[in-house]
A and B are shown apart, each in its own frame.
Chain A
Amino acid sequence: RKEVEQDPGPFNVPEGATVAFNCTYSNSASQSFFWYRQDCRKEPKLLMSVYSSGNEDGRFTAQLNRASQYISLLIRDSKLSDSATYLCVVDGWDDKIIFGKGTRLHILP
């Protein structure tokens, strides 16, 4: 099993819809979890951290399920500008930060 796994997509979603994707991780000792966003031909940028209690930032909600070892990202009322690749990031043991392969999201007008 790979350390961090994501559905690569692409997810093609109409504007205004709600979309959610998950990410699973293999190391139960992992402590910190994040979602990064990467636009085409650009560098990744932090979207949001994922806290044990779940957290929300505007239209974005992140959840952590330690028992099943997955994190999720929910985007409500999707905008054209949300089109990007969303990278799941796990901060594991020995300070190694592992990226998933990313989930591509296309918001359709």
Chain B
Amino acid sequence: GAGVSQSPRYKVAKRGQDVALRCDPISGHVSLFWYQQALGQGPEFLTYFQNEAQLDKSGLPSDRFFAERPEGSVSTLKIQRTQQEDSAVYLCASSPFAGRGEKLFFGSGTQLSVL
């Protein structure tokens, strides 16, 4: 399809387990964002890539969170030693421009539940 694709759609992890969440942005999109959305809250910024460069990772809540986009297209968000507070929907968005909220296209998200 032509949209942003995220996988898996749902992930259940035991506390302490490592998880990897994948985002396939729209082809040719320069910018890629990761957001964390807890139930009843707005999306919280995690990190931002412009092509393969991670320009901002100030929103990553701890050093257990790591994101990469090695070839400037697909991105992976990895969470090590998951904790219950990591349970949330993780949204990926891409844009053809640098930092333009107007052209953000979101994937359907990965709902992570840590037991």
Identify the A interface with B (CB < 8 A). 6, 32-34, 36, 42-46, 49, 85, 87, 89-91, 94-102
Q: Please tell me which stretch of B14-22, B61-69, B80-88, B102-110 contacts chain A, meaning at least 4 of its Cβ atoms lie within 8 angstroms of it.
A: B102-110
Known A43-B107, A94-B55: A99·B35 in contact at CB below 8 Å: yes
In this complex, the member of B31, B91, B99 whose beta carbon has the largest number of chain A beta carbons within 10 angstroms is B99
Interface of A is mostly: strand
> Bound state CA distance, A58 and B101, in angstroms?
21
On chain A, the residues within 8 Å of B101 by CB distance are 32-34, 89-91, 97
Which partner residue on chain B sits nearest A102 by CB separation?
B42
Identify the B interface with A (CB < 8 A). 31, 33, 35, 41-45, 48, 50, 55-56, 58, 91, 98-104, 106-109
On chain A, the residues within 8 Å of B109 by CB distance are 43
In this complex, the member of A94, A96, A97, A101 whose beta carbon has the largest number of chain B beta carbons within 10 angstroms is A97
Are A99 and B56 in contact, CB atoms less than 8 angstroms apart? no
Are B106 and A45 in contact, CB atoms less than 8 angstroms apart? yes
Are A97 and B104 in contact, CB atoms less than 8 angstroms apart? yes
On chain B, the residues within 8 Å of A91 by CB distance are 99-102
Are B106 and A34 in contact, CB atoms less than 8 angstroms apart? no
> Bound state CA distance, A96 and B102, in angstroms?
13
Are A97 and B41 in contact, CB atoms less than 8 angstroms apart? no
Known A44-B43, A87-B43, A101-B42: A95·B98 in contact at CB below 8 Å: yes
Are B106 and A44 in contact, CB atoms less than 8 angstroms apart? yes
On chain A, the residues within 8 Å of B102 by CB distance are 32, 34, 46, 49, 91
In this complex, the member of B43, B99, B103, B106 whose beta carbon has the largest number of chain A beta carbons within 10 angstroms is B43
Smallest CB separation, B37 vs chain A (Å)? 9
In this complex, the member of B31, B56, B101, B103 whose beta carbon has the largest number of chain A beta carbons within 10 angstroms is B101
> Bound state CA distance, A44 and B107, in angstroms?
9
Smallest CB separation, A70 vs chain B (Å)? 17
Are B108 and A43 in contact, CB atoms less than 8 angstroms apart? yes
Are A100 and B42 in contact, CB atoms less than 8 angstroms apart? yes
> Bound state CA distance, A49 and B103, in angstroms?
10
> Bound state CA distance, A44 and B45, in angstroms?
14
